[in-house]
Chain A
């Protein structure tokens, strides 16, 4: 009769192992890896890798098809210490999944290595109702909504572009919105800057913006930053956010945000408008061009309205 030790040794012959650093690197590089947590649901809820889908060991062969569409898709399996998932990975190999690795040391080693984990926070009844239409979208679902609730987006400018962006991100349940703007509300803003109302004239835009966003969705933590973005504060401000949305109204700020985001490795969702024309693009460091690739030099002063 085979012992457990023999079975693990057999599995190790065919299943390669990767440590936390290597798996983290692959995920950070945007590799389309399917990460499966084969522990029981209560273990998963107590903490898991952000990218992980939970399929308990007992159901793995039955449900793996729903998580991994193609037998050659890269798959990483893990359990608590790396033993259960080693046997599970062997089972997937036997089913014909060719690109399966085991997370060496499991969840325990991942945590000890200081890697980030997610703890499942159950949604309230209000949240389940508020986001019910998102749950119907297979690309969002319960998992996506929780991800949005954990996400942090910085909005540079609470004006014409920042207003609708912030409105929709708050409605969608993006958990933390940084609202950065050093201006106060002026009556001339109101024909387009929809976060602010007539009663807000003279108040800081971040104040009226925060009130409007909280009224729409109290789930959202609005961080009010009543200052202009400058070379001295930009790195410190952006470091706390997953994503930066540039809704600024001048070239100086755009070059500054572009450079800071590139240097900090942050993706910058860019938008700008002039009269009846607008444009939008995404600057993702090292995945595509930056604002300077597009506009190596600022436009001549004549093009810039005061």
Chain B
């Protein structure tokens, strides 16, 4: 049932974006805890040091994905401010 909730949120956001209506989840991470039955919202900010969309990007094409490094960039984590990553663990499934 859990993927149904998240997938339906994705569908809702898609329709809103296509129609240009409402407030999309840009810069907001919505988390869902099925056992506690709670939604939580975490504000997300752009990271100026982001290697992709930051002020001095080091990723300007997809070459980083060709080296078999799991697609992740090879940046040191201490180059980034404490993000929400610590508070919100990334989810593995799809």
- Which positions in A face B, CB cutoff 8 Å? 139-140, 144, 147-148, 151, 153, 157, 159-165, 167-169, 172, 174, 192-194, 231, 234-235, 242-243, 245, 247-256, 258-260, 262-263, 267, 269-290, 292-299, 303-305
Q: Write the B31-56 contact mask toward A (1 if CB under 8 angstroms, else 0).
A: 11111000000001111001111100
Question: Which residues of chain A are within 8 angstroms of B47 by Cβ–Cβ distance?
Answer: 289, 292-293, 296
Determine if B13 and A280 form an interchain contact, defined as CB atoms under 8 angstroms apart.
yes
Residue of B nearest to A293 (CB): B47
Nearest-CB distance from B50 to chain A (Å)? 5
Nearest-CB distance from B26 to chain A (Å)? 4
Question: Which residues of chain B are within 8 angstroms of A242 by Cβ–Cβ distance?
Answer: 18
* Given A273-B3, A279-B30, A296 and B62 contact (CB-CB distance below 8 Å): no
Told that A165-B10, A168-B7, A299-B89 touch, could you supply 12 new A-B pairs with CB distance under 8 A?
A: A160-B3, A160-B7, A192-B1, A250-B94, A259-B62, A259-B71, A267-B17, A269-B17, A278-B91, A280-B29, A289-B27, A298-B72
Q: List the 5 closest A-B pairs by CB distance, nearest first.
A: A249-B94, A164-B7, A160-B3, A272-B91, A255-B71
Determine if A276 and B34 form an interchain contact, defined as CB atoms under 8 angstroms apart.
yes
* Given A260-B62, A277-B33, A243 and B18 contact (CB-CB distance below 8 Å): yes
Across chains A and B, the number of contacting residue pairs, with CB separation under 8 Å, is 256
Residue of A nearest to B4 (CB): A164
Question: Which residues of chain A are within 8 angstroms of B80 by Cβ–Cβ distance?
Answer: 296
Determine if B4 and A194 form an interchain contact, defined as CB atoms under 8 angstroms apart.
yes
Docked pose: A255 CA to B51 CA in angstroms: 12
Determine if B94 and A256 form an interchain contact, defined as CB atoms under 8 angstroms apart.
no
Overall SS of chain A's interface: mixed
Determine if B19 and A234 form an interchain contact, defined as CB atoms under 8 angstroms apart.
no
- Which positions in B face A, CB cutoff 8 Å? 1-15, 17-19, 21-22, 24-35, 44-47, 50-54, 59-62, 64-66, 70-73, 75, 77, 79-80, 83-85, 88-94
Determine if A269 and B92 form an interchain contact, defined as CB atoms under 8 angstroms apart.
no
Determine if B15 and A251 form an interchain contact, defined as CB atoms under 8 angstroms apart.
no
Nearest-CB distance from A150 to chain B (Å)? 9
* Given A251-B72, A255-B72, A282 and B26 contact (CB-CB distance below 8 Å): yes
* Given A147-B18, A164-B11, A279-B91, A296 and B75 contact (CB-CB distance below 8 Å): yes
Determine if B90 and A251 form an interchain contact, defined as CB atoms under 8 angstroms apart.
yes
Question: Which residues of chain B are within 8 angstroms of A272 by Cβ–Cβ distance?
Answer: 6, 90-94
Nearest-CB distance from B39 to chain A (Å)? 10
Docked pose: A30 CA to B18 CA in angstroms: 13
21 A-B residue pairings within 8 Å (CB atoms) = A140-B21, A148-B18, A148-B19, A160-B3, A165-B7, A167-B11, A172-B15, A243-B17, A247-B94, A251-B92, A259-B59, A259-B62, A259-B65, A278-B5, A280-B25, A281-B44, A293-B47, A295-B85, A295-B90, A296-B73, A296-B75
Determine if B62 and A139 form an interchain contact, defined as CB atoms under 8 angstroms apart.
no
Nearest-CB distance from A261 to chain B (Å)? 10
Question: Which residues of chain B are within 8 angstroms of A280 by Cβ–Cβ distance?
Answer: 6, 9-10, 13, 25, 29-30, 32
